Structure 1
Amino acid sequence: MNEVAQISEFGKILIFLITGIILLCLIFFLNRLLAPNNPTAEKLTSYECGEEPTGNAWLPFNSRFYVIALVFLLFDVEMVFIFPWATVFGNHEIIAADPRWGWFALIEMFVFLGILIMGLVYVWRKGDLDWIKPKPTIPTTNSRVPAALYDKINIQQNAFKIKEFALESVTTDMAAPVAAATPDAPPVRKPMFKPTFKKPANDA
């Protein structure tokens, strides 16, 4: 009589996750307990491959780095999909029950890899993986407005000249109306008290 398993496959996965979390928390606790805590200015600086960091860490990165990250992510996810296929293809019990499962899994995985490789070749041939494109494409539009009209507008805008800022003329022009507008203004009153400062007494 076959014994019934007391724990299912999902229960094993749950025990594995709980054990991993407990071990991770234990390692962090031991690290905090045993590791010396002596922060210095040099330790708190950002690590740049062993070189002295210069400037601010918040810098704009080139957008081409994101293309490399997306390609890496694509093939990283591909490996996640290959793992279940490998388990089915390498299971002798499934293949012994029905040999068609092995061939079906093999063909399906080749189709999946072929689609990804075709996409990679397409992007490669298009030049999107190059760091600097050798032949930049000039954008075109189907606008009905002739290019001569844009040139005419640019010439008209360049014809207008902005006056240069002169501080002396502005101050003199603004001071004259103020003086003329207030001829009967009362004189500025002087303060009623005069501050006095005590001189230090000479020791001699």
Structure 2
Amino acid sequence: MILVVSLAGALSLILIILNSGLSKKMTQEREKPSPFECGFDPKSSARLPFSLRFYLIAVIFLIFDVEITLIMPMPIIFSSTNLLTLATLSTFFIMILMLGLYHEWNQGALEWDN
């Protein structure tokens, strides 16, 4: 049993050393990691900056989308529940939506042109 474990460990170590030795990149390869632009050196960075404003709008959309999804079955529940309970629940969800919208508007998160 000890022989099998030591043989497996030695084989793994040999393969790791062999892999790290074969996978070394040449420092002379300047063209391979650079982006290809019709054979010319690129004029600007190939990476575009990520818009944090777009991400914030997407998260706000998801939050409001979940709230709308919770409100949509309200007419179906209307026949099986008490009217006061349904009105209270609907008002609660709509107030959460309105408060969230007011807060985002007040913080300036909905102004896209900045």
User: When the two structures are superposed, what TM-score results if normalisation uses the length of structure 2?
Assistant: 0.51
% identity of equivalent residues: 38
Q: Quick check: 2:71–2:93 contact (8 Å CA) kept in 1? A: no
Partner of residue 77, structure 1: 66
Structure number with the bigger relative contact order (C-alpha 8 A, sep ≥ 6) is 2
Q: 1:126: Cα distance to partner?
A: 2.2
Determine the structure 2 residue equivalent to 1:65. 54
Larger Rg: 1
Residue of structure 2 aligned with 1:125, choices 79, 101, 106 = 106
> How many residue pairs end up in the alignment?
69
Corresponding position of 1:116 = 97
The residue aligned with 2:87 is 106
**CA distance in structure 1 between the partners assigned to 2:109 and 2:64 by the alignment:** 17
Is the contact between residue 123 and residue 129 of structure 1 (CA under 8 Å) also seen in structure 2? yes
Gaps of 5+ in 2: 1-44
Moved runs in structure 1, 4+ residues, more than 4 A?
none
Match of 2:50, SS state, is coil
Paired position in structure 2 for 1:184: none
Give matches, 1:4-43, under 5 Å: none
Q: 1:7-65 CA deviation, whole Å, 9 max, x = no partner?
A: xxxxxxxxxxxxxxxxxxxxxxxxxxxxxxxxxxxxxxxxxxxxxxxx95x53321000
- Contact 1:67–1:129, Cα closer than 8 Å, also in 2: no
In 1, the alpha carbon distance for the partners of 2:99 and 2:77 equals 25
Give, as a single letter, the amino acid of the residue that structure 1 aligns with 2:50: F
**1:86 counterpart = 2:67:** no
- 1:67 counterpart SS class: helix
Higher percent of residues as helix: 2
RMSD: 2.1
Unpaired segments ≥5 residues, structure 1? 1-54, 96-100, 133-204
Name the CA distance, whole Å, in 2 between partners of 1:122 and 1:109: 20
Give SS of 1:129's match: coil
Separation in 2, partners of 1:77, 1:88: 18
Code of the aligned partner of 2:55: Y
Q: TM-score, normalised by structure 1?
A: 0.30
